[in-house]
Amino acid sequence: MNDQSPNLHVYRSIWISDTHLGTPGANADKLLHFLKHTRSEYLFLVGDIVDGWQLKKRWYWPQKHNDVVQKLLRKARHWTNVVFIPGNHDEAARQYVGMTFGDIKVEAEYIHTTLDGRKLWIVHGDLFDQVIQHARWLAYVGDQAYTFLLWMNHWLNKARIVFHLPYWSLSQYLKLKVKSAVSFISAFEHVMVTETRRRGCDGIVCGHIHKPELRNIDGIIYANDGDWVESLSALVEHHDGRLELIEWQKLMRTSGSLKPSYKYALSQSKEAINILKAGLDQGA
Protein backbone atom coordinates (compact mmCIF):
# COMPACT_ATOMS: atom_id res chain seq x y z
CA MET A 1 0.00 0.00 0.00
CA ASN A 2 1.11 3.50 -0.74
CA ASP A 3 1.32 5.12 2.70
CA GLN A 4 2.60 8.39 1.28
CA SER A 5 -0.51 9.15 -0.77
CA PRO A 6 -1.45 12.79 -0.16
CA ASN A 7 -5.11 11.84 -0.50
CA LEU A 8 -5.00 9.35 2.31
CA HIS A 9 -6.91 10.43 5.42
CA VAL A 10 -5.61 8.70 8.51
CA TYR A 11 -7.65 8.45 11.71
CA ARG A 12 -7.46 6.40 14.87
CA SER A 13 -11.04 5.16 14.52
CA ILE A 14 -13.80 5.28 11.95
CA TRP A 15 -17.48 4.51 12.37
CA ILE A 16 -19.84 3.95 9.46
CA SER A 17 -23.31 2.43 9.30
CA ASP A 18 -26.44 2.08 7.21
CA THR A 19 -24.64 1.43 3.95
CA HIS A 20 -27.56 -0.81 2.87
CA LEU A 21 -25.53 -2.87 0.40
CA GLY A 22 -27.85 -5.05 -1.65
CA THR A 23 -30.19 -2.16 -2.46
CA PRO A 24 -30.05 0.28 -5.38
CA GLY A 25 -29.93 3.11 -2.82
CA ALA A 26 -26.46 2.13 -1.62
CA ASN A 27 -23.69 4.40 -2.84
CA ALA A 28 -21.17 1.60 -3.22
CA ASP A 29 -18.80 3.55 -5.48
CA LYS A 30 -18.60 6.48 -3.05
CA LEU A 31 -18.18 4.09 -0.14
CA LEU A 32 -15.40 2.30 -1.96
CA HIS A 33 -13.74 5.64 -2.63
CA PHE A 34 -14.00 6.44 1.07
CA LEU A 35 -12.57 3.08 2.14
CA LYS A 36 -9.69 3.43 -0.33
CA HIS A 37 -8.76 6.91 0.86
CA THR A 38 -9.01 6.41 4.60
CA ARG A 39 -7.05 4.34 7.03
CA SER A 40 -7.59 3.67 10.73
CA GLU A 41 -6.59 1.45 13.59
CA TYR A 42 -10.25 0.68 14.27
CA LEU A 43 -13.16 0.47 11.86
CA PHE A 44 -16.60 -0.02 13.32
CA LEU A 45 -19.43 -1.15 11.06
CA VAL A 46 -22.42 0.01 13.08
CA GLY A 47 -25.19 -2.03 11.46
CA ASP A 48 -27.39 -2.18 8.36
CA ILE A 49 -24.29 -2.80 6.28
CA VAL A 50 -25.87 -5.45 4.06
CA ASP A 51 -29.63 -5.11 3.70
CA GLY A 52 -30.83 -8.66 4.25
CA TRP A 53 -34.49 -7.58 4.34
CA GLN A 54 -34.33 -6.17 0.82
CA LEU A 55 -32.17 -9.00 -0.51
CA LYS A 56 -34.80 -11.49 0.65
CA LYS A 57 -37.45 -9.63 -1.35
CA ARG A 58 -35.33 -9.07 -4.42
CA TRP A 59 -31.80 -10.16 -5.14
CA TYR A 60 -29.63 -7.17 -6.03
CA TRP A 61 -25.88 -7.61 -5.77
CA PRO A 62 -23.73 -5.73 -8.33
CA GLN A 63 -19.97 -6.17 -8.52
CA LYS A 64 -19.42 -2.82 -6.75
CA HIS A 65 -21.17 -4.15 -3.65
CA ASN A 66 -18.91 -7.16 -3.70
CA ASP A 67 -15.90 -4.85 -4.02
CA VAL A 68 -16.91 -3.07 -0.81
CA VAL A 69 -17.11 -6.35 1.09
CA GLN A 70 -13.74 -7.42 -0.34
CA LYS A 71 -12.22 -4.10 0.68
CA LEU A 72 -13.52 -4.50 4.24
CA LEU A 73 -12.11 -8.02 4.44
CA ARG A 74 -8.77 -6.82 3.12
CA LYS A 75 -8.61 -4.05 5.70
CA ALA A 76 -9.43 -6.52 8.46
CA ARG A 77 -6.71 -8.88 7.24
CA HIS A 78 -3.97 -6.27 7.04
CA TRP A 79 -3.99 -3.24 9.24
CA THR A 80 -7.40 -2.52 10.78
CA ASN A 81 -9.37 -3.91 13.70
CA VAL A 82 -12.77 -4.27 12.04
CA VAL A 83 -15.77 -4.77 14.32
CA PHE A 84 -19.21 -5.41 12.86
CA ILE A 85 -22.22 -4.64 15.04
CA PRO A 86 -25.33 -5.89 13.21
CA GLY A 87 -28.41 -3.72 12.84
CA ASN A 88 -32.04 -4.58 12.14
CA HIS A 89 -31.57 -4.91 8.37
CA ASP A 90 -28.72 -7.38 8.88
CA GLU A 91 -30.07 -8.93 12.07
CA ALA A 92 -29.40 -12.43 10.66
CA ALA A 93 -25.75 -11.76 11.58
CA ARG A 94 -26.74 -11.42 15.24
CA GLN A 95 -26.63 -15.19 15.62
CA TYR A 96 -22.88 -14.98 14.93
CA VAL A 97 -22.10 -12.57 17.76
CA GLY A 98 -18.77 -13.42 19.35
CA MET A 99 -17.45 -15.03 16.18
CA THR A 100 -14.92 -13.79 13.66
CA PHE A 101 -15.36 -13.88 9.89
CA GLY A 102 -12.22 -13.31 7.87
CA ASP A 103 -10.81 -11.23 10.74
CA ILE A 104 -14.02 -9.20 11.12
CA LYS A 105 -15.34 -9.51 14.67
CA VAL A 106 -19.10 -9.67 15.12
CA GLU A 107 -20.36 -8.06 18.32
CA ALA A 108 -23.85 -7.13 19.55
CA GLU A 109 -22.42 -3.97 21.11
CA TYR A 110 -18.98 -2.64 21.90
CA ILE A 111 -17.32 -0.22 24.29
CA HIS A 112 -14.50 1.78 22.75
CA THR A 113 -12.14 3.95 24.79
CA THR A 114 -10.94 7.04 22.98
CA LEU A 115 -7.30 8.07 23.26
CA ASP A 116 -8.28 10.71 25.81
CA GLY A 117 -10.03 8.11 27.93
CA ARG A 118 -13.70 8.53 27.13
CA LYS A 119 -15.84 5.43 27.02
CA LEU A 120 -18.10 5.20 24.00
CA TRP A 121 -20.91 2.68 23.82
CA ILE A 122 -21.41 1.50 20.24
CA VAL A 123 -24.71 0.00 19.15
CA HIS A 124 -26.83 0.21 15.99
CA GLY A 125 -29.84 1.78 17.71
CA ASP A 126 -32.86 -0.31 16.79
CA LEU A 127 -33.03 -1.94 20.23
CA PHE A 128 -35.36 0.71 21.49
CA ASP A 129 -37.70 0.90 18.51
CA GLN A 130 -40.52 -0.34 20.74
CA VAL A 131 -39.97 2.53 23.14
CA ILE A 132 -39.82 4.95 20.24
CA GLN A 133 -42.98 3.51 18.70
CA HIS A 134 -44.53 4.34 22.01
CA ALA A 135 -43.18 7.88 21.70
CA ARG A 136 -44.69 8.07 18.22
CA TRP A 137 -48.03 7.11 19.70
CA LEU A 138 -47.47 9.81 22.28
CA ALA A 139 -46.85 12.26 19.47
CA TYR A 140 -50.17 11.26 17.94
CA VAL A 141 -51.96 11.78 21.21
CA GLY A 142 -50.09 15.05 21.39
CA ASP A 143 -51.74 15.98 18.12
CA GLN A 144 -55.21 15.23 19.46
CA ALA A 145 -54.47 17.17 22.62
CA TYR A 146 -53.17 20.00 20.49
CA THR A 147 -56.48 20.26 18.59
CA PHE A 148 -58.34 20.24 21.86
CA LEU A 149 -56.12 22.92 23.31
CA LEU A 150 -56.60 25.10 20.23
CA TRP A 151 -60.31 24.99 20.92
CA MET A 152 -59.72 25.71 24.58
CA ASN A 153 -57.39 28.57 23.71
CA HIS A 154 -60.24 30.29 21.89
CA TRP A 155 -62.39 30.27 25.02
CA LEU A 156 -59.50 31.03 27.30
CA ASN A 157 -58.79 34.20 25.35
CA LYS A 158 -62.44 35.18 25.39
CA ALA A 159 -62.19 34.99 29.15
CA ARG A 160 -58.99 37.03 29.04
CA ILE A 161 -60.84 39.76 27.15
CA VAL A 162 -63.46 39.80 29.85
CA PHE A 163 -60.71 40.26 32.43
CA HIS A 164 -58.89 42.82 30.24
CA LEU A 165 -55.83 40.62 29.77
CA PRO A 166 -53.79 40.64 26.55
CA TYR A 167 -54.12 37.80 24.05
CA TRP A 168 -51.81 34.92 24.79
CA SER A 169 -51.23 32.26 22.18
CA LEU A 170 -51.39 28.90 23.82
CA SER A 171 -51.18 27.25 20.41
CA GLN A 172 -47.92 28.99 19.58
CA TYR A 173 -46.52 27.99 22.91
CA LEU A 174 -47.54 24.37 22.51
CA LYS A 175 -46.43 24.18 18.92
CA LEU A 176 -42.93 24.92 20.13
CA LYS A 177 -43.04 22.79 23.24
CA VAL A 178 -45.05 19.69 22.43
CA LYS A 179 -44.44 19.17 18.73
CA SER A 180 -40.68 19.55 18.75
CA ALA A 181 -40.11 17.80 22.05
CA VAL A 182 -42.02 14.66 21.15
CA SER A 183 -40.64 14.24 17.66
CA PHE A 184 -39.26 10.90 16.56
CA ILE A 185 -35.64 11.98 16.42
CA SER A 186 -35.54 13.63 19.78
CA ALA A 187 -37.25 10.59 21.29
CA PHE A 188 -34.55 8.39 19.76
CA GLU A 189 -31.75 10.61 20.99
CA HIS A 190 -33.26 10.83 24.44
CA VAL A 191 -33.58 7.06 24.79
CA MET A 192 -30.04 6.45 23.58
CA VAL A 193 -28.50 9.07 25.86
CA THR A 194 -30.45 7.78 28.89
CA GLU A 195 -29.25 4.24 28.21
CA THR A 196 -25.66 5.44 27.76
CA ARG A 197 -25.73 7.17 31.14
CA ARG A 198 -27.23 4.07 32.76
CA ARG A 199 -24.30 2.05 31.42
CA GLY A 200 -21.79 4.48 32.87
CA CYS A 201 -20.39 5.51 29.48
CA ASP A 202 -19.38 9.00 28.38
CA GLY A 203 -20.94 8.77 24.97
CA ILE A 204 -22.87 6.78 22.42
CA VAL A 205 -22.10 6.02 18.80
CA CYS A 206 -25.06 4.71 16.82
CA GLY A 207 -26.71 4.84 13.41
CA HIS A 208 -30.16 3.56 12.41
CA ILE A 209 -32.04 6.85 11.90
CA HIS A 210 -29.84 8.06 9.00
CA LYS A 211 -29.26 11.42 10.61
CA PRO A 212 -25.61 12.32 11.19
CA GLU A 213 -25.11 14.15 14.45
CA LEU A 214 -22.38 14.91 16.96
CA ARG A 215 -23.32 16.89 19.98
CA ASN A 216 -23.46 16.93 23.73
CA ILE A 217 -26.81 16.04 25.25
CA ASP A 218 -26.97 16.62 29.02
CA GLY A 219 -23.28 15.86 29.43
CA ILE A 220 -23.33 12.74 27.23
CA ILE A 221 -21.74 12.65 23.77
CA TYR A 222 -24.39 11.73 21.22
CA ALA A 223 -22.80 10.63 17.96
CA ASN A 224 -24.73 9.29 15.01
CA ASP A 225 -22.52 8.34 12.09
CA GLY A 226 -25.35 8.88 9.58
CA ASP A 227 -25.62 6.70 6.47
CA TRP A 228 -24.30 5.96 2.98
CA VAL A 229 -27.62 6.29 1.19
CA GLU A 230 -27.89 10.07 1.42
CA SER A 231 -25.47 11.76 3.80
CA LEU A 232 -22.34 9.73 2.94
CA SER A 233 -21.05 10.44 6.41
CA ALA A 234 -18.74 8.89 8.97
CA LEU A 235 -17.68 9.55 12.51
CA VAL A 236 -13.93 9.63 13.06
CA GLU A 237 -11.59 9.79 16.03
CA HIS A 238 -8.39 11.73 15.44
CA HIS A 239 -5.07 10.76 16.97
CA ASP A 240 -5.66 13.05 19.95
CA GLY A 241 -9.02 11.48 20.78
CA ARG A 242 -11.03 14.28 19.18
CA LEU A 243 -14.22 13.14 17.50
CA GLU A 244 -15.42 14.58 14.21
CA LEU A 245 -18.31 13.98 11.89
CA ILE A 246 -17.23 13.98 8.27
CA GLU A 247 -19.29 14.19 5.11
CA TRP A 248 -17.22 12.51 2.43
CA GLN A 249 -18.70 14.39 -0.53
CA LYS A 250 -18.07 17.75 1.12
CA LEU A 251 -14.58 16.80 2.23
CA MET A 252 -13.68 15.58 -1.26
CA ARG A 253 -15.23 18.56 -3.01
CA THR A 254 -13.26 21.00 -0.89
CA SER A 255 -10.07 19.05 -1.46
CA GLY A 256 -11.00 18.76 -5.14
CA SER A 257 -10.47 15.02 -5.43
CA LEU A 258 -13.99 13.91 -6.20
CA LYS A 259 -16.27 15.06 -8.97
CA PRO A 260 -19.75 16.14 -7.92
CA SER A 261 -22.12 13.21 -7.77
CA TYR A 262 -24.57 12.35 -10.49
CA LYS A 263 -27.44 13.33 -8.18
CA TYR A 264 -25.82 16.70 -7.57
CA ALA A 265 -25.21 17.24 -11.27
CA LEU A 266 -28.81 16.29 -11.99
CA SER A 267 -30.17 18.76 -9.44
CA GLN A 268 -27.95 21.45 -10.97
CA SER A 269 -29.18 20.78 -14.50
CA LYS A 270 -32.79 20.65 -13.29
CA GLU A 271 -32.28 24.05 -11.75
CA ALA A 272 -30.79 25.34 -15.00
CA ILE A 273 -33.80 24.03 -16.94
CA ASN A 274 -36.17 25.76 -14.52
CA ILE A 275 -34.34 29.05 -14.91
CA LEU A 276 -34.48 28.62 -18.66
CA LYS A 277 -38.21 27.82 -18.54
CA ALA A 278 -38.90 30.85 -16.36
CA GLY A 279 -37.01 32.97 -18.88
CA LEU A 280 -39.04 31.56 -21.78
CA ASP A 281 -42.34 32.12 -19.92
CA GLN A 282 -41.43 35.72 -19.34
CA GLY A 283 -40.52 36.14 -22.98
CA ALA A 284 -43.86 34.66 -24.16
- Polymer length in residues for the chain: 284
- 92 versus 266: smaller Cβ distance to Mn ion: 92
- 50 versus 214: smaller Cβ distance to Mn ion: 50
Rounded to a whole number of angstroms, the minimum distance from the CB of residue 191 to Mn ion is 14
Rounded to a whole number of angstroms, the minimum distance from the CB of residue 232 to Mn ion is 17
- 112 versus 208: smaller Cβ distance to Mn ion: 208
- 33 versus 195: smaller Cβ distance to Mn ion: 195
DSSP type of residue 91: G
Rounded to a whole number of angstroms, the minimum distance from the CB of residue 90 to Mn ion is 9
Alpha-carbon gap, residue 238 to 242, rounded angstroms: 5
Helices (H), the chain: 28-36, 52-57, 63-78, 129-162, 170-174, 180-181, 184-198, 248-255, 262-283
Rounded to a whole number of angstroms, the minimum distance from the CB of residue 209 to Mn ion is 8
- 81 versus 88: smaller Cβ distance to Mn ion: 88
Contacts of 84 (CB under 8 A, 6+ apart): 45, 49, 93, 101, 104, 105, 106, 107
Alpha-carbon gap, residue 274 to 93, rounded angstroms: 47
What is the distance, to the nearest Å, from the Cα of residue 72 to the centroid of all Cα atoms in its chain? 20
Residue nearest to Mn ion (CB): 208
Binding site for Mn ion (CB under 5 A): 48, 87-88, 208
Rounded to a whole number of angstroms, the minimum distance from the CB of residue 275 to Mn ion is 39
